[in-house]
Amino acid sequence: MTQALRRPASAALAAAAATAFLGLAACGAPDSGAAARPASASASVPGGAPADDGPALPAAVGSTAPSNRVTFVPERVVLPGGDSAPVQPAVTRDGELQVPEDVQHVGWWDGSAHAGDPFGNTVVAGHVDSKTEGLGFFVRLLSLKKGETVTLRGAGGHHLAYTVTSVRTIKKDALATGSAAFDQTGDPHLVLVTCGGDYHRGAGGYDSNVVVTARPKGLAR
């Protein structure tokens, strides 16, 4: 059950002004007006009203502890050697992740973890190539090696570096069911996905995905 509580704007403004004044003057000291009030004062005397009718000290406003984790939506991926590409949010439609058409851009699955989240994989996928645009940015995944560094960058200068822990080729039909690529409950990882395996012209292209898994080096900044 909700209840509407309203009062005239002028009264609210007056109360706000009075509150601001009291906040400056009182600083946590007992209400001096109430303390100085003579016992004989009637209700009509200013300052003689019950405690909850007058202005009140401002409540403390809760703050975020400085140790709060930084998390961010990836906007750029930087591969070893410094090559980087823009990362755009990508949605799943009819079961298929819709990676950007531009093969020089890659897509972050919008249902996956933000960089810096304590649980779940951050999934970034991109084209290895396309019929119209040639080789894609993520063709570079094919030459990534264990131990190399991949960095995600986000708005506000946030960034998180990851160490590559594995590069695997997984049959496309086993990616969702037979691998942990999309897991959102385990320890956080960065998972980069592109295509690989055997290429069958006219039969759906590549038969596998190349999946790079990387572990965060500490917390996001």
Partner 1 sequence: MTARVLRRLLTLVVLLGATLGLAGLTAAPSFAANEASLYVVQGLPGRSVDVKVDGKSVAKGVKTAAVVGPFKVAPGARKVTFSDGGTTLLSRSLSVKARSSWDVVLHLPAGGSTDPTVTVFRNDTSSVPRGKAELVVAHTATVPAADIRVNGKVLFSNIANGQSLDLTVPVATYKVAITPTGKKSPVYLGPVSLTVKGGAVNRVYALGDPENKTMNVAVHVLATGSSGSERPEKVDTGTGGEAVGAVRFLAKLTR
Using CB under 8 A as the binding rule, the residues of this chain from 36 to 55 that contact partner 1 are 50-55
Residue 63 interacting with partner 1 (CB under 8 A): yes
Distance from first CA to last CA of the chain, Å, rounded? 43
Residue 32 interacting with partner 1 (CB under 8 A): no
Residue 24 interacting with partner 1 (CB under 8 A): no
**Which residue among 5, 24, 25, 203 contacts partner 1 (CB under 8 A)?**
5
**What is the Cα Rg of the chain in Å?**
29
Q: Could you tell me which stretch among 39-47, 80-88, 134-142, 150-158 binds partner 1 (CB under 8 A)?
A: 134-142
**Which residue among 79, 85, 97, 190 contacts partner 1 (CB under 8 A)?**
97
Closest distance between partner 1 and the C-beta of residue 138, in Å? 7
Q: Are 128 and 194 in contact (CB under 8 A)?
A: yes
Angstrom distance (rounded) from CA 85 to CA 106: 7
Q: Could you tell me which stretch among 40-48, 79-87, 94-102, 151-159 binds partner 1 (CB under 8 A)?
A: 94-102
Q: Are 142 and 196 in contact (CB under 8 A)?
A: yes
* Partners of residue 151 on adjacent β-strands: 78, 161
Helix (H, G, I), strand (E, B) or coil at 89: strand
Residue number with CB closer to partner 1 (24 or 59): 59
* Partners of residue 206 on adjacent β-strands: 199
Residue 61 interacting with partner 1 (CB under 8 A): yes
